[in-house]
Amino acid sequence: MKSEGMKKIFSIMIFLCIAVWGWWPQMANADDAGDTKPSVIQTVKDGFSADWRIMAYGIMQKPAKSTQNADNNFLNLTHYTGNLELRPDFKLDLDFLQLSAKPRAKLEFRIWEEGTSSGETQWKDDWYVNEWLVRLKARDNLFVSYGRENLQWGPSFLFSPSNPFFRDNGRSNPFMEIQGMEFGRLVFIPHSSWTVSAIVNTDEGRNTLLGPDPFEKTYALKADYTGRENYASLIVSQKDYNKTLGFFGGWTISDALLIYGEGSFMKGSNALYPRTDTSYLQASMQKIHQDDSDIKPIILIGSSYTLEASGTFSLEYAYNGPGYNRDEADVYYDLRRRGTTAFNMGGLAGLLGQNTLGQTINPGLRYLRKNYGMFQYAQSNIKNKIDLTLRWTQNLDDGSGQFLALVSYSMGNHLELFSSGMISAGGGDTEFRSTLDYQLMFGLKYTL
């Protein structure tokens, strides 16, 4: 969110932290010369930490020739983007209180080669706080907090079906940040193996691409168990329109083999589904399952095997119960084609097409179809410098797939090269070829 007020807040936070960082040694020396008892200033100094990261990276991508974004006229995706980001993290950890903030400053340069902005360039800056937190220790085993957070959990790589708050778990591109949302949390630790959390999601924060509906508060109760060779969690959550039961767990079979599972169960679905009708486009996106009593499960099972002194192979299968079946997918892609035709006509037909394509690009489903597979190989500290991840994701229903590569190279204690690459495979009327043919990212990170 770009605003002069946010820039001022960001600048003040940076100035204060730099000032305190510079003044503390002098104030501490003054205190040391007198009383040997730790002073308030010394306590605050010991509890304060700051990490500074500067990232410069470029993104090159090719919009797909699909019915969702023919000739790039609807989504108007950029072809080249250059970014410079300042990502400082500040934290004050006292015995009873924890404060943290992650202000961000981003300068971006965009280039378009086709679409409604073909041949244009644009400079854009963004100043915001992606995460912040106030956490109070009420008792040794009881904590209360409120702030803007990125709450992630679960062992899965593909996505986290047990998480009712975030659709993206950040594992497809860890170099990019997930936008935080506002949460209130009460965390109780009754035993060393058990943790119980009451969570309320009060505001969307910066995470605005949630689905076809306006933001709704979500309430959740989460119980976590951690043993020596296994772990498990149960999550009960509720929005105004439904309740969801989520779970995940993992079992260590041997030093090399781990199996895990994750999923959720909910009645009905608040997503949009394509249905034929007598309207101008002969079909429309409708909430036909919102009041269903049928349970629509999402189940993911996976396994990881680590080679001795080498990398880890991971395999996952996901069944996405709320996804479209074959007949619904046929209606969906026919509707996209008619929506694109109407969008290009302009006028009232164009507005109808624009609304339809806006619904088809984000119908409220994590994945569009029902059956998915993933195979991954990951290895870290190759020659003490390189981290590598290679992943293939397969839509088992429409035949499309996606290849992902993540690479980072350490150039010392402060400098790191990083890159991500994504290539989509399949026809134009398939899930993974709906928006991008490929995307390449190259960057440099400097950490103070």
* Each residue's pLDDT tens digit, 278-298: 999 999 999 998 888 888 899
pLDDT for 270 beyond 90: no
Distances (CA, A) of 271 to 138, 161, 242, 288, 369: 40, 15, 12, 8, 13
More confident residue, 126 or 42: 126
Write out the two tokens for 105: 């400053």
Write out the two tokens for 240: 């105004």
What pLDDT, on the 0 to 100 scale, is given for residue 404? Answer: 98
What pLDDT, on the 0 to 100 scale, is given for residue 339? Answer: 95
CA-based nearest residue to 431, from 353, 352, 342, 328 = 328
pLDDT for 14 beyond 80: no
Contact (Cβ atoms closer than 8 angstroms) between residue 77 and residue 118: no
Spatial separation of the C-alpha atoms in residues 291 and 405, rounded to whole Å: 41
Write out the two tokens for 95: 């015995």
CB-based burial label for 402 (10 Å; 0-12, 13-18, 19+) = buried
**Residues 6 or more apart whose Cβ sits within 8 Å of residue 382:** 388
Q: For strand 80-93 and strand 48-63, is the pairing parallel, antiparallel, or unpaired?
A: antiparallel
pTM of the model: 0.88
CA-based nearest residue to 377, from 392, 361, 362, 365 = 392
Residue linked to tokens 């040391």: 32
CA-based nearest residue to 386, from 413, 420, 409 = 409
What pLDDT, on the 0 to 100 scale, is given for residue 30? Answer: 46
**Residues 6 or more apart whose Cβ sits within 8 Å of residue 405:** 388, 389, 390, 391, 419, 420, 421, 422
Question: Model confidence over 77-89: pLDDT tens digits?
Answer: 999 999 999 999 9
Spatial separation of the C-alpha atoms in residues 53 and 25, rounded to whole Å: 23
Question: Model confidence over 22-41: pLDDT tens digits?
Answer: 444 444 454 454 555 667 78
What pLDDT, on the 0 to 100 scale, is given for residue 294? Answer: 85
- The DSSP output letter for 5 is H
What pLDDT, on the 0 to 100 scale, is given for residue 74? Answer: 93
What pLDDT, on the 0 to 100 scale, is given for residue 235? Answer: 97
pLDDT for 9 beyond 80: no
What pLDDT, on the 0 to 100 scale, is given for residue 167? Answer: 85
What pLDDT, on the 0 to 100 scale, is given for residue 332? Answer: 97
Domain boundaries, the chain: 4-447
310, amino acid identity: S
DSSP letter string over 397-415?
TT--EEEEEEEEEE-SSSE
pLDDT for 2 beyond 70: no
**Residues 6 or more apart whose Cβ sits within 8 Å of residue 346:** none
For domain 4-447, the question of CATH label 2.40.50.140 is answered with: no
pLDDT for 173 beyond 50: yes
* Mean pLDDT score of the chain: 90
Spatial separation of the C-alpha atoms in residues 97 and 418, rounded to whole Å: 35
pLDDT-wise least confident of 141-150, 167-176, 190-199, 434-443? 167-176
Residues in the chain: 448
Distances (CA, A) of 130 to 25, 81, 150: 30, 21, 9
Question: Model confidence over 204-220: pLDDT tens digits?
Answer: 998 887 667 788 899 99
How many alpha carbons lie under 13 Å from residue 141 in its C-beta half-sphere?
9
What pLDDT, on the 0 to 100 scale, is given for residue 210? Answer: 65
CB-based burial label for 50 (10 Å; 0-12, 13-18, 19+) = middle
